[in-house]
Structure 1
Amino acid sequence: MNCWLHKRSRLRSAGILGAFFACLGLWLSGGLASTAAAKEPGPVISLVVDGKGVESDVLPLRQNGRMLVPIRVIAEATGSQVEYDAEQQRVSFGQKGKHVSLDVNSRLAYVNGERVTLEAPPIIVNQRTLVPLRFVSEALGYQVEWDATSSVAHVQTKPVEDRAVTVEEAANPYVVQPNDTLGAIALRHGTTMSAIKKNNYLSSDQLTIGQILFLPHAAKKAEHPLADKVGDKRLLGQEYLFPFNDASWYEPYGDSFGSDREWTESHNGSVRRHEGIDIMAPKGTPIYSVSDGTINRVGWNTYGGWRINITDKNGQFRMYYAHLSAYAPGLRVGGTVKAGQLIGFVGDTGYGGPGTVGMFAPHLHFGLYRNDNGRAVDPYDYLRYWEQNKVVSLFG
């Protein structure tokens, strides 16, 4: 059987810091965030901490090209001692031998007594002192990256350790046939069992019918290639990506396409057909567009919750991403996206009216439909192929 391609099968928590980041009271340049949020198709997340999207009721303020966040919330999240001098409008905090102080509306700050010039001055909004996120992160030893395409800030407070791995050679996929053995496959393709096992991270010699094996570089062309099994070879191009990045944790997934689903909007006891693949992952896990394309639907769906439909650039297929907890900012019907662009976050929405959550465990439902007739296509084999082509984490 395949050894699922993760170095560790465990959930990685964002910890206390991520929880407190969820409380960030941010201010949107040009007006209240609630005004802007009303124009969005649903909840929006603009901050990712340790690989998880952090929900906030407002969008961040961008000032002089910098994101401003409340310093007290960040400091408290890390266990720092915070003091505020209302008369001098000075805030200070300390953690792990570091002491930082700064004054509202001043670009001068002090880190361990050493003067530092800020990129943007702290300001007070709604009784909160906001400071540049990059300054706070660097003062505390964190990393910050700004995803300009998706308008999302990423903060990493610790090294990325649990990184998913992919096969070294993925250009020659073979589909396991009845009565196949690993030894026979190796012999017919001019390679060795050990080479196949190493390239596919196999933990045993056992195989299952329909399993995809990626033959090593020196092997002959696959006798039963994946292209002969799937319905459309065009979807096996390198321009298609897996919907999670290479640092995201998710559970091993099977082919759940066509299985029964009992919940229906009418509640009449009927059973419907599952038209996609479910990939279980922690809530807030970033989701990326599989392909270049155009958004044709975005917003609430009774079954899919917060969802987005994207028609690929060739107009042949629609990709359906469902049960999201939130979207990346600025997604609109008719808008275009690029393969690998962050579009949303894993959630547990759906099976009810707008805002319904908790009817099932968090996961991404990925569906694939032909655009000419609307028929659902089993995306399992494509996902297994795309799994070898992932977005590289910003902190890779």
Structure 2
Amino acid sequence: MNRCIHTDSIRLWSGILGVFFLIAGLWVQSVDARGKPGPEISLMIDGIGIETDVQPLQKNGRMLVPVRAIAEKTGAKVGYDAQKRQVEIRKEHKKIIIPIDRSFAHIDGEQVSLDVPATIVNRRTLIPVRFVSEALGYRVEWNAVSRVAAVWTPKAKQTTASATNPYVVQTGDSLYLIAKRYQVSIDTLMKNNNLSSDTLLAGQVLYLTDQAKKAELRPTNVAGDQRLLRDHFVFPFAAHSGYEPFVSSYGSDREWTESGNGTVRSHEGVDIMAPSGTPVYAVSSGTINRIGWNTYGGWRINITDAGGAYKMYYAHLLAYAPGLQVGSHVKAGQLIGFVGATGYGKPGTTGVFSPHLHFGLYLARNNQAIDPYPYLRFWERHKVTGLS
């Protein structure tokens, strides 16, 4: 249940945001700098990071994942024969049998070789993700930098949105009126902007595509720092990712504090609502200067950009991409974590608010906060495609 009150809700979230948080203690040290900074996710299915009770295993250049992590998310049925020590996976008319610790498997009765055998870790059966996924007719991507495997099922919607012909939503606008005015279908507007509902916010930017009439209301460039308006900066969500319409929440009031004294603080960032597990990408190349738990930001990452002028702050993550730590160098567009709802309490606190990404932008020389909203709108035209 939400425990804080948003006192500046007039223009910000109007019914879609139950998200009220303050980012403070930005430069607090990680909980445990000696080990992993926090939970990690190594597997994505249809564009969403999947938590597993046993971490995926790297062996001989192959990734093994808990069998139920794939089965439960794709509708396959799993059985285990303890006497024969083998896993059986069924999906529609496909039947796959994988013996434990053996270098072969059977697909519909035909024996095939395995590069790496299935194994058991902490009473969980781990299977080679590429072999099983492709046997079931899924597509698999692997990125060695992020160390994350992505499985795409045939039902996945992998549309790449067009970030051209921007239109600023005005008070009184509706999808129907915009579609009629600019001679574009409502379905096209929803698909191109990854909209899950017909809710619009005044100030929101819609991309109408080149096939529509040219929009007369275009976003004005109110960004003050032209160095941030370069093509090597990217949006923190990928082209195929879904996220809710967002407007600026920078400077609005936040009343939750660690001390609980009721002090009102200013919100130093922009909130973008997205499903839990949505991958988050580095806006710019740079070096991680903080990573781990923060009372307000939950599992968060602070990255100083390669030029040393800015610090980017990604908060409320569900988990990180594997292998990240203080001092790690990241590239623009590199997968760094996954959307969550962590923060507002001791390490592991989650669910106080709805899943979203809090993105903050700071001057490195003095840690002064900058309104990231106009830059996010510019970067929204530059999105990662594929896993990256």
TM-score bracket for this pair, using the shorter chain length: 0.7 to 0.9
Q: 1:239 to 1:226 in 2, by over 3 A?
A: farther
Tell me if 1:389 matches 2:364.
Answer: no
After TM superposition, the structure 1 = structure 2 runs for residues 195-344 of structure 1, keeping only pairs within 5 Å, are 229-344=222-337
CA-CA distance at 1:152 after TM superposition? 0.9
Task: Give 1:102's aligned residue.
Answer: 98
Letter in 2 for 1:48: M
Question: For 1:41, which of 37, 40, 65 is the aligned residue?
Answer: 37
Partner Cα separation in structure 1 for residue 253 and residue 223 of structure 2: 23
CA-CA distance at 1:127 after TM superposition? 3.8
Task: Give 1:27's aligned residue.
Answer: none
Task: Give 1:28's aligned residue.
Answer: none
Letter in 1 for 2:162: T
Tell me if 1:370 matches 2:363.
Answer: yes
Greater Rg, structure 1 or structure 2?
Answer: 1
TM-score using structure 1 length:
0.74
Partner Cα separation in structure 2 for residue 129 and residue 368 of structure 1: 43
CA-CA distance at 1:46 after TM superposition? 1.1
Q: Conserved in 2, the CA contact under 8 Å of 1:104 and 1:124?
A: yes
Larger mean CA deviation between 138-147 and 69-78 belongs to 69-78
Q: 1:225 to 1:233 in 2, by over 3 A?
A: farther
Task: Give 1:29's aligned residue.
Answer: none
Q: Conserved in 1, the CA contact under 8 Å of 2:300 and 2:317?
A: yes
Q: 1:316 to 1:132 in 2, by over 3 A?
A: same
Letter in 1 for 2:79: V
Q: Which runs of 5+ in 1 are unaligned?
A: 1-35, 177-192, 217-221
Partner Cα separation in structure 2 for residue 45 and residue 51 of structure 1: 13
CA-CA distance at 1:393 after TM superposition? 2.5
Q: Conserved in 2, the CA contact under 8 Å of 1:298 and 1:332?
A: yes
Tell me if 1:80 matches 2:77.
Answer: yes
Q: Conserved in 2, the CA contact under 8 Å of 1:283 and 1:325?
A: yes
Instruction: Deviation per CA, 1:136-178: give whole Å up to 9, x if none.
Output: 11121112211211111111223432636233368xxx999xx
Instruction: Deviation per CA, 1:313-334: give whole Å up to 9, x if none.
Output: 1111111101111111111111
Partner Cα separation in structure 2 for residue 237 and residue 196 of structure 1: 30
Cα RMSD (Å) of the superposition?
3.7
Partner Cα separation in structure 2 for residue 249 and residue 209 of structure 1: 19
TM-score using structure 2 length:
0.76
Instruction: Deviation per CA, 1:240-290: give whole Å up to 9, x if none.
Output: 000000111111001110000011122111100001000011111110000
Q: Conserved in 2, the CA contact under 8 Å of 1:166 and 1:387?
A: no
CA-CA distance at 1:374 after TM superposition? 1.3
Q: Conserved in 2, the CA contact under 8 Å of 1:305 and 1:349?
A: yes
Q: Which runs of 5+ in 2 are unaligned?
A: 1-31, 170-180, 194-200, 211-215
Letter in 2 for 1:261: R
Sequence identity of aligned pairs in percent?
Answer: 54
Partner Cα separation in structure 1 for residue 248 and residue 107 of structure 2: 54
Task: Give 1:121's aligned residue.
Answer: 117
Q: Secondary structure at the match of 1:137?
A: helix
Letter in 2 for 1:84: D
**Residues paired across the two proteins, number:** 336
Question: For 1:160, which of 156, 159, 162 is the aligned residue?
Answer: 156
Tell me if 1:54 matches 2:50.
Answer: yes
Instruction: Deviation per CA, 1:219-251: give whole Å up to 9, x if none.
Output: xxx9x9955x21110111010000000111111
Instruction: Deviation per CA, 1:44-98: give whole Å up to 9, x if none.
Output: 1111112111122442211111111344664566342625152x43433433112
Partner Cα separation in structure 2 for residue 242 and residue 39 of structure 1: 29
Instruction: Deviation per CA, 1:192-225: give whole Å up to 9, x if none.
Output: x969999x9699xxx9789799998xxxxx9x99
Highest relative contact order (Cα 8 Å, sep 6+), 1 or 2?
2
Question: For 1:146, which of 142, 148, 152 is the aligned residue?
Answer: 142
Larger mean CA deviation between 272-281 and 323-332 belongs to 323-332
Letter in 2 for 1:275: E
Q: Secondary structure at the match of 1:130?
A: strand
Q: Conserved in 2, the CA contact under 8 Å of 1:323 and 1:365?
A: yes
Partner Cα separation in structure 1 for residue 163 and residue 57 of structure 2: 41
Tell me if 1:345 matches 2:338.
Answer: yes
Q: Conserved in 1, the CA contact under 8 Å of 2:78 and 2:87?
A: no
Q: Secondary structure at the match of 1:250?
A: coil
